[in-house]
Structure 1
Amino acid sequence: MTVLHVCTTCRGTEEVPEGGLRPGARLHAALADGPAPAGVTVVPVECLSACNSGCAVALSAPGRWSYVYGRMTPEDAPEILRGAAAYAATADGLVPWRERPVIFRKQSLARIPPIPQEA
């Protein structure tokens, strides 16, 4: 199972009025609005600690590399889901460079190695 974590507390570069919907929450709504790719679950989280990088998402799955991406917008939802589908189709989380959406190639904040499996 692949999890696409979406920071719902991200403010991006916008000033959000008291009680207003934050850009991260709008991004989550855009991603959760349609069907997720096969094997991908979209999960809201309160913070990915990428506050200086706009709206952030993260991809993870057991035994695979994890990724954090920033500067995302609700308009990026189709490309984010396309990238999540490509990630879900791998055994190790390593999507070939040219097969990644451009926003994943250019807006990667972190790549985290998988936790070693115990024998």
Structure 2
Amino acid sequence: MTVDSAIARDPLTDCESPAGEAEAEDAVTVIVCSSCRHPEIPAGETEAAPRPGSLLAAATARAAENTDITVKHIACLGNCKRGLSAAMLKPGAWSYVFGGLDVDSGPDLIAGAELFAGSEDGFMPFRARPESLKRGLIARIPTFDSLKDLP
């Protein structure tokens, strides 16, 4: 595994879009923390590979097959106390950070990303979200444009 632009490249879980593939304006990207570890293993102790975050990244990529959702993984989202973690980004919309996910939460992330992609107001509808994304919401981050009218 090598590190390039803060994105960990792992041939087993490399979830990046094919080279040259253009992303639509309303395309959603799911970013999964591939270095998240088991919460019960203290920092500094050795953990068997692959880490749970890497497994979640791979499960999310599999769930995204045959969809318009892009899945990428990054070495750390800095949400270690509430890992496994992922984020969702959409151009011109608020971004979302989720934690407390499981290695099998990939389909939930893609279901949420599809809701987000289809939203007209740039928000992910709360009631329709999978339960793991309702209880696992860490933050909803505004766009820079939405801040310009604030004091």
Name the TM tier (shorter chain).
0.7 to 0.9
Shift of residue 37, structure 1, vs aligned partner: 6.3
| Structure 2 partner of 1:9 | 35
The list of structure 1 runs, each at least 4 consecutive aligned residues, that deviate by more than 4 angstroms after superposition, is none
**1:31 maps to amino acid:** T
Q: Are residue 27 (structure 1) and residue 56 (structure 2) matched?
A: yes
**2:35 maps to amino acid:** T
CA separation of 1:82/1:17 partners in 2, compared to 1, >3 Å: closer, same or farther? same
Counterparts of 2:116 and 2:90 in 1: how far apart (Å)? 9
| Structure 2 partner of 1:53 | 82
Shift of residue 19, structure 1, vs aligned partner: 5.7
Counterparts of 1:51 and 1:71 in 2: how far apart (Å)? 10
**Does structure 2 conserve the Cα–Cα contact (< 8 Å) formed by 1:8 and 1:44?**
yes
**Does structure 2 conserve the Cα–Cα contact (< 8 Å) formed by 1:12 and 1:51?**
no
Q: Which has the higher helix share?
A: 1
**1:107 maps to amino acid:** G
| Structure 2 partner of 1:89 | 118
CA separation of 1:5/1:22 partners in 2, compared to 1, >3 Å: closer, same or farther? same
| Structure 1 partner of 2:9 | none
Question: TM-score of the superposition, structure 1-length normalised?
Answer: 0.87
Question: TM-score of the superposition, structure 2-length normalised?
Answer: 0.70
Q: Are residue 41 (structure 1) and residue 70 (structure 2) matched?
A: yes
Higher CA-based Rg:
2
Shift of residue 39, structure 1, vs aligned partner: 2.9
| Alignment RMSD (CA, Å) | 2.1
Question: What CA deviation, in whole Å up to 9, does each residue of 1:17-49 have, x standing for no partner?
Answer: 456111100100111124446331000111111
| Structure 1 partner of 2:22 | none
- Between 1 and 2, higher relative CO (CA 8 Å, sep ≥ 6) is seen in 1
- Alignment gaps of 5+ in structure 2: 1-26
**Does structure 1 conserve the Cα–Cα contact (< 8 Å) formed by 2:116 and 2:125?**
no
Q: Secondary structure at the match of 1:10?
A: coil
Counterparts of 1:71 and 1:77 in 2: how far apart (Å)? 13
